[in-house]
Structure 1
Amino acid sequence: MAGANPATPTTVAALSTFSPRPPPMQASGYEDSETLLAHRPAPSRSFLSGIISMASRRRFAVATCSLTAVSLLGLWFFGSLWAAGPKPVAVIEDEISTIPPIPINSSESSVAVVVDPLGPEFNLVGRPTKHFRDSLRPDRKYITSWISAGWTNDVMTYINLIYLGIITDRIPIIPMFTPSHIGGAVPPIDFGLVFDVPRLRTALGKPVLEWHQVKNRHSQELDEIGCWNTWEAVQEREAYPRRSQVPEHLKLDISYTKAPTWIKVIPHFEHDMHSSFWSLAALAFPEARSANLVPPLKSPQNHVLLPPDEQLLCYDYLYYVCANQPFEFEFDYSPAWRFVGQYMYWTPTIERLADQYVRRAIGAAEDHPTPPYIAIHVRRGDFKVWCDEDTTGCFASLPVIARRVEEVKVELRQRKGITVNHIIMTSDERNTTWWEDVKTLGWYPIDHSQTGELLGPWYPVLIDAAIQSLGAGFVGTDRSTMSMLARKRVESWSDGATRIFKWGKPDSDDH
């Protein structure tokens, strides 16, 4: 992400001119209730008297009152937001998600209530409960896992989880994101505040749930569960399951069963830790499960011994998983990307914020559309461990990156007839001289000087990731998973032009 770049500081007042607005209603085939009421022709009294019976009048009155109540609630809620001024995005979306529904008695109403058959309403017993098992339907099977890496790798882990759910015919339950990259004191953020889950479900044609829809996020009740321990089966340096903060947040007491070593893609190879999707999938079915049960480990709190759960299948870690070869996300055939990842779009709020930050960076006029741009991601901070003390000859220079930018410009012009004049730079580099050189090239940095204060610590990286993926073209850093996902998004979402520059020595990117 852009980190502490030397762009001109933005005041709170200036940022409030494009402060986050409540996200639009999810598309459901219905207009906003206020719009419906405004455009519905008013029926005449004589017409109603002629065709509506006494019982029908009662149903009509109940439906009208319900619609009016929804309208008044919406007017009050959004009016209060307008009057109170900008709020952090997480606060706004949390308030929207907790608006209580207007009760409508289906026996007395002719209003059709639309329920997503792929959502929690059809795939759970009801509202979130204190114990997760009380929410699970007995006629459904589920799958879950935990994250334990940097944020981009955690995104990839959840992509793998959803794909494994598809091939095992189980409903994935996605936990929250934990703040591995921004400090443990920062609260987690819901998966659904980052990615558009209803849109994902629709694209997949499969249910996708979040843990807060299953277990009440405020529950302090401890749940016992048995899970597969894949970590000890694929590496020998750590003699315990992969550690994660997620079970603690979910109040889970886990008894782990070590998975068989045949899940490992390259047997006995200490330098790789990948298992295969289908070897893990086999453990989801009765025959392979029963044939590979070994004595489980005691759970850390209640010291229970439980075999892997049959209804809620769970694995300790799914980052190192592939179909054919390790780190296959890099390749165009990657099934996890093709069947899941490319359909994980940002929420409308994240997309809107990314657009607003780009417009502010380039000084776009309010009455003009956002011009096409090329985004750059330069990752340097933690990559210094791969370089000598002098990183000058290790990291790619700005002229090397500029050459790749020109290649993207030429391809966009020749292949798509798009002329791009705006280049957006995102990076974790903190050297002010380097940022001055970026601006000398006519490229635009993203100013996050107020982002954390106004929106929260999660949003600098979320906004940067969205900016990188929503351009007409992209140039990124070799060996960075953040760059890799941005490249794949630009290619999948916009048919854009992309390049990745190599680094490590002065001639690494010669071509």
Structure 2
Amino acid sequence: MANGNIQYHSLKTREGASSPASRSRSPSPNSTSRIPSRSSNNSHNNSRISIAKAILLVSVSFMFLALVHVSYSAQYEDGAAATTSSSGDLENHQQQQQQKPPPTTLVTPKPVVPNSPPVTPQEQPPHTPAEQPQSSEAEKGSIISDTDLTTTYRYENGTESRVFKPNFFKNGPAGKKELGSFLETLATRSWVVHQPEHKLEGGTEDEEQEHENDDQDDDNHDQNAVPGRYFSYLPMGGGNNQFTSLQKAALLAKDLKRTLILPPISPNSHIKTWAGPRYSQFYDLESFIQKSGIPVLEWHDIKLTPENVPGGFGRQWEEFSEDFPCTANGGIGVSNTSLYDKFRQQFLLKYVRAVASDDKTEGKSTDYKYARDVLLKDTVVAAPAAGAAAPPPPANGGVVVDPNMWKCLSCPYFLGGPDVGSRTWAEVGVFLRFNEKTEAMVDDILDVLLGPVTEGEPTTTAGPGIVTTGGSSHKAFRPHPQFIIIHLRRGDIVNKCPAGMAEKDCIVQIEAIADKIDEIEKARRTEALEALKKTMTDDDPASDGRNYAHKRLPVLVTTNEQRREELDKIDRLGWILLDHGDVEKDEKGQIKPSMTKKLGTETRFGPWYPSMLDAVLLTRGDYLIGMANSRMSILATQRGAAWHNHKTMLM
């Protein structure tokens, strides 16, 4: 750039300024005019030629330097952009990604295959609106199948995606045929033998000794499920109720020695979309499989279906659906009118009640042991007599499906028994932890709300190398100041108060929670003073605690409360309200002042993230106060205490 400028000014000098050659040709003011001689003319012409050559040389040099400068600038800008993208914060990155329109595709990551080596999460094409792959042909990969109804692409990392064309939604029978049968997919599925990671990589004797317990876990894992036997269920209710169903279904799969096929988080009365995200978007299923010994697949791994569909398709989805045999329980699925799940629509499954001959309750039992015993009795298939011909293949040329391969229960949520609650947590829930990506997003939120840790300030207790009851050591969280967090369940709970009962007698009041926080702070102060006294001598002037300075912990609040008077109470107490909304602007485009820090979570990441990130935040508080009538609070207290050894309570 500098060289180009120097040449540019040099060129200007030659064109407009008085050069030595031009000065030699100019007549002196005191000289007389005369006719030039032949030699002077030749000299004059040679001088002109020299000047022309010089100008030509300078011009060529300038053009060359200009080209070099443009090339260098382009490379620098590309490098700077890449550096900014990689080093910039998550918010800027997601805002840029949000501007990209998501294509109408279904991306199917590598399946979580029981007894198979783990799949690196980064290899999986993400499913969130902010992270959909761009629609350019190069990024879609190579086309491996193209029909009038769909186009299937294969990526370099081995994953595949299917794009559904408009014609697909106009022909139910043809679309149904092209999607294929989930039962036939399971029947032809190969079973991969698992090898522990440390055995594959090789290690020293010390490392082998260190992983001795892991070997035992792997042995238990290999023996737990019978290859080619699967179990699934219908997800019902809100997200936390669905998680409760998941825990009980996983326990059933373990008792039945079957692989659990995990439905996605289903749309519900709180989040109304066509399709729900897979659990692996938020949870670490790889770690869960290894630690619980329960093999898991996800429905996305066995059936490709549309995630975004035309509006009218919601009224005709059953035309594209295949039969979905499932045993009713708790009265859910006794008749089709009892089913209210969205999972069947997303995966185009038509519920067909599977009648169990041993079920004397007509599908209305809610006893865990009873349901387990009914499901344990596989269908008896008579072997052909000696010398008899083998049964003919299916008329449609399809795959012969083993009737013992598939088991399903309509609604595990209602199952109960003497030890069901303790077993579901100890054998399932404690192992199903959030993945590192989701935890990192919560770190970003805490960075915004709490700021950096000051020198000497105590930090959150889940630090590097923490091995929890869950049995694994996750990547350390970023250090943050200690804090108290409250889950204030209101909204729909207020509406459920019995007629005639005062609200203060129905739900916990904010004033009572404030008193509880005062008790926590008093206990913290007492513990700190006792610890301080143990480190001081009798002649220390601060031994009586007079110089002790106590700082109250910040208080974070997650709530669905909307009433202004209740939110004002939170503001006056100085508590920090989690606000996933967007900043608001006035008619002049100026940001309106707000009592909360707007996180913009739903706009940046999609409708499933606000509640999920709140669930993670609740586990992070060094002190958690939850509501006893909230399933979300109950799960949060279990997670916070078991994973991080935090102090939790329900009011």
TM superposition score normalised by structure 1: 0.63
Does residue 417 of structure 2 align to residue 323 of structure 1? yes
Q: Distance in 1 between matches of 2:257 and 2:134?
A: 31
**What displacement does 1:214 show?**
1.2
Q: Distance in 1 between matches of 2:92 and 2:481?
A: 20
Q: Counterpart of 1:284 in 2: which secondary structure?
A: helix
Aligned with 2:510 (options 395, 398, 415): 398
Deviations 1:66-87 (A, max 9, x none): xxxxxxx99xx99xx9xxxxx8
Q: Counterpart of 1:319 in 2: which secondary structure?
A: helix
Match of 2:542 in 1: none
**What displacement does 1:133 show?**
2.2
Are the aligned partners of 1:373 and 1:472 in contact in 2 as well (CA < 8 Å)?
Answer: yes
Deviations 1:427-458 (A, max 9, x none): 11012332232132232111211221111111
Match of 1:227 in 2: 326
Deviations 1:351-393 (A, max 9, x none): 1222222221223369982122221101111112215486355
Does residue 487 of structure 2 align to residue 377 of structure 1? yes
Match of 1:448 in 2: 580
CA 1:366–1:432 in 2, change beyond 3 Å: closer, same or farther?
Answer: farther
Q: Counterpart of 2:412 in 1: which secondary structure?
A: coil
Match of 1:195 in 2: 283
Deviations 1:15-59 (A, max 9, x none): 82585999xxx9x89999xxxxxxxxxxxxxxxxxxxxxxxxxxx
Greater alpha carbon shift after TM alignment, 379-388 vs 146-155: 379-388
Aligned with 1:285 (options 352, 376, 385): 376
Deviations 1:398-448 (A, max 9, x none): 221123334445667788989871221011101233223213223211121
Deviations 1:318-372 (A, max 9, x none): 10112317xx64xxxx101110011111122221222222221223369982122
Match of 1:123 in 2: none
Amino acid corresponding to residue 386 of structure 1 in structure 2: C
CA 1:149–1:395 in 2, change beyond 3 Å: closer, same or farther?
Answer: same
CA 1:424–1:318 in 2, change beyond 3 Å: closer, same or farther?
Answer: same
**What displacement does 1:168 show?**
0.7
- Which segments of 5 or more consecutive residues in structure 2 lack a partner in the other structure? 1-87, 98-111, 142-152, 159-177, 191-226, 308-316, 381-400, 456-477, 532-549, 582-599
Paired-residue identity, %:
19
Aligned pairs for 1:397-476 within 5 A: 397-409=509-521, 421-449=553-581, 450-476=600-626
Q: Counterpart of 1:231 in 2: which secondary structure?
A: coil
Aligned with 1:340 (options 405, 423, 428): 428
Deviations 1:462-507 (A, max 9, x none): 1111111222221011211011001111111111111111xxxxxx
Q: Counterpart of 2:626 in 1: which secondary structure?
A: strand
Are the aligned partners of 2:327 and 2:408 in contact in 1 as well (CA < 8 Å)?
Answer: yes
Match of 2:296 in 1: 208
CA 1:308–1:316 in 2, change beyond 3 Å: closer, same or farther?
Answer: farther
Match of 2:633 in 1: 483
- Which segments of 5 or more consecutive residues in structure 1 lack a partner in the other structure? 1-12, 33-72, 82-86, 104-127, 291-306, 502-511
Aligned pairs for 1:75-474 within 5 A: 88=129, 91=132, 100-101=155-156, 130-136=180-186, 137=189, 139-185=227-273, 187-218=275-306, 222-232=321-331, 241-258=338-355, 275-286=366-377, 310-324=404-418, 329=421, 334-364=422-452, 369-384=479-494, 385-387=496-498, 388=500, 391-409=503-521, 421-449=553-581, 450-474=600-624
CA 1:91–1:500 in 2, change beyond 3 Å: closer, same or farther?
Answer: same
CA 1:429–1:173 in 2, change beyond 3 Å: closer, same or farther?
Answer: same
Amino acid corresponding to residue 351 of structure 1 in structure 2: E
Q: Counterpart of 2:567 in 1: which secondary structure?
A: helix
Q: Counterpart of 1:172 in 2: which secondary structure?
A: strand
CA 1:239–1:176 in 2, change beyond 3 Å: closer, same or farther?
Answer: closer
CA 1:93–1:155 in 2, change beyond 3 Å: closer, same or farther?
Answer: farther
The alignment covers a number of residue pairs equal to: 382
Q: Distance in 2 between matches of 1:194 and 1:318?
A: 22
Q: Counterpart of 1:386 in 2: which secondary structure?
A: coil
Match of 1:62 in 2: none
Are the aligned partners of 2:365 and 2:371 in contact in 1 as well (CA < 8 Å)?
Answer: no
The structure whose Rg is larger is: 2
**What displacement does 1:286 show?**
3.0
Are the aligned partners of 1:263 and 1:280 in contact in 2 as well (CA < 8 Å)?
Answer: no
Deviations 1:129-172 (A, max 9, x none): 73212332484100000111111101111111111101110000
Greater alpha carbon shift after TM alignment, 162-171 vs 247-256: 247-256
CA 1:409–1:180 in 2, change beyond 3 Å: closer, same or farther?
Answer: farther
Aligned pairs for 1:53-64 within 5 A: none
Q: Distance in 2 between matches of 1:407 and 1:381?
A: 27
TM-align CA RMSD: 4.5
